Amino acid sequence: MQGALFANLIAGLEASKYFLLFAGSYIEGTVVMLTGGLLWHEGIVDFLPAYGALMLGDFLSDLMWYAIGYFGARPFIARWGHWISMTPEILAKLERRFHRYHLRILVISKLTMGFGLATGILMTAGMLRIPLIRYVTINLLCGVVWIFGIMLVGYYFGNVLAFIPQQLKLFGGIGIVIAFFFGVRALALWLATADW
């Protein structure tokens, strides 16, 4: 009984593997893209359908965040912005700077997953009415590069963790966290002092 249930579960996962990659890319992104690369390496998925599923999920997710920003962010900021010191003057200044540098902001955000701020940047692009065709073009072109690169990392290095000693993983993780916080602090200082 359990063997048949397990076999049915495996068959169901096998039949829906590309849909699962699409859904995972829509919801999560990078981890699923790495997993797609590892599955490609193991021969569980073929490259083109997996890449297409990941691209579609990522693109639709980016489009959703743009739409949320476009249709919902301005009314939200108008009503609740004072709680986060988002005055009309600050919003106008943000709008001028974002429109001036939107290409750089969107490209860097896409190719770095926004340093953890990607969702906010995508919603801001919608809220500030960056033209949809420009937004779509930037995200698609950057997505082609980003997803392929992440899949290659998963393909070539996905199973390398099995060979790293546990202590080295712990120290490496601590080092990454410390480097991240110093990087964010340096970026915040640079943004605060940059002549926009």
Same domain, 73 and 141: yes
Tally of CB atoms within 10 A around 149: 13
CB-hemisphere CA count at 13 Å for 154?
A: 25
Same domain, 192 and 144: no
DSSP codes of every residue in 107-118? HHHHHHGGGGTH
For residue 10, the model assigns a pLDDT of 62
For residue 107, the model assigns a pLDDT of 82
- Token readout for 137 is 């073009």
Distance separating alpha carbons of residues 97 and 119, to the nearest angstrom: 18
For residue 5, the model assigns a pLDDT of 58
Same domain, 55 and 26: yes
Walk along the chain (196 residues) and give the pLDDT tens digit of each residue. 556 655 555 666 677 889 989 998 998 888 889 889 989 988 889 999 999 999 999 999 999 999 998 998 878 777 777 676 777 777 788 788 888 888 888 888 887 775 667 787 888 888 889 999 999 999 899 899 889 988 988 888 866 655 555 555 555 556 655 665 565 555 555 555 555 4
Same domain, 133 and 41: yes
Same domain, 174 and 157: no
Residue span of the structural domain in which 178 resides: 164-196
pTM of the model: 0.72
For residue 196, the model assigns a pLDDT of 46
For residue 182, the model assigns a pLDDT of 60
The set of residues, in sequence order, having a beta carbon less than 8 Å from that of 136 and lying 6+ positions away, is: 63
Same domain, 151 and 177: no
Same domain, 131 and 106: yes
Same domain, 125 and 80: yes
In total, how many domains does the chain have? 2
- The three-point CA angle 25-22-122 to 5° equals 40
Contact 139, 59 (CB under 8 A): yes
Same domain, 143 and 173: no
For residue 101, the model assigns a pLDDT of 83
Same domain, 100 and 134: yes
How many H-runs (helices) and E-runs (strands) does the chain carry?
9, 0
DSSP codes of every residue in 50-87? HHHHHHHHHHHHHHHHHHHIIIIIHHHHHHHGGGGT--
Same domain, 123 and 195: no
Same domain, 184 and 134: no
